[in-house]
């Protein structure tokens, strides 16, 4: 992005950020550190951090590893991320309506 231009989130970046937040929420719900989740999912701890911050897009294999480590089906993991994404979308619309 060029300097001085506003940062506009695209649907793809919103989806990646929502997935990262889902992973973080589910990990914290278990009382686990990033290192603990990484070990259970056979991933590197820095990569888990990148996923949680929305700085990396996981492969299908990684999604399955995370779901299994968290004791969820892949569908339930993605559904959790989708719920977060929808809530963020609604909040964004509400904030835009207030600003107008």
**Exposed, middle or buried by CB within 10 Å (0-12, 13-18, 19+), for 4?**
exposed
Beta carbons within 8 Å of 18's beta carbon, 6+ residues apart: 81, 82, 84, 85, 88
Beta carbons within 8 Å of 37's beta carbon, 6+ residues apart: 23, 27, 30, 43, 48, 66, 69, 70
Q: What are the pLDDT digits (tens) for 62-94? A: 999 999 999 999 999 999 999 998 887 766 655
Per-residue pLDDT at 1: 39
Q: What are the pLDDT digits (tens) for 32-58? A: 999 999 999 999 999 999 999 999 999
Structural domains in the chain, sorted by start = 12-99 (1.10.260.40)
CA pair distance 85, 77, nearest whole angstrom: 13
pTM score: 0.79
Q: Yes or no: say if 62 and 18 are a contact pair by the CB < 8 Å rule.
A: no
Beta carbons within 8 Å of 22's beta carbon, 6+ residues apart: 77, 80, 81, 84
Count Cα neighbours of 41 within 13 Å in the Cβ-side half-sphere: 29
Structure confidence at residue 100 as a pLDDT band (50, 70, 90): low
């Amino acid at each position: 992005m060029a300097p001085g231009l506003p940062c506009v989130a695209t649907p793809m970046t919103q989806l990646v950020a929502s997935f990262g937040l889902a992973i973080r929420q589910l990990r914290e719900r278990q009382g686990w550190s990033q290192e603990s989740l990484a070990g259970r999912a056979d991933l590197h701890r820095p990569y888990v951090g990148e996923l949680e911050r929305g700085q990396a897009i996981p492969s299908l294999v990684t999604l399955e590893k995370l779901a299994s480590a968290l004791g969820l089906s892949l569908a339930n993991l993605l559904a959790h991320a989708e719920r977060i994404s929808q809530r963020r979308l609604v909040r964004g619309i509400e904030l835009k309506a207030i600003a107008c």
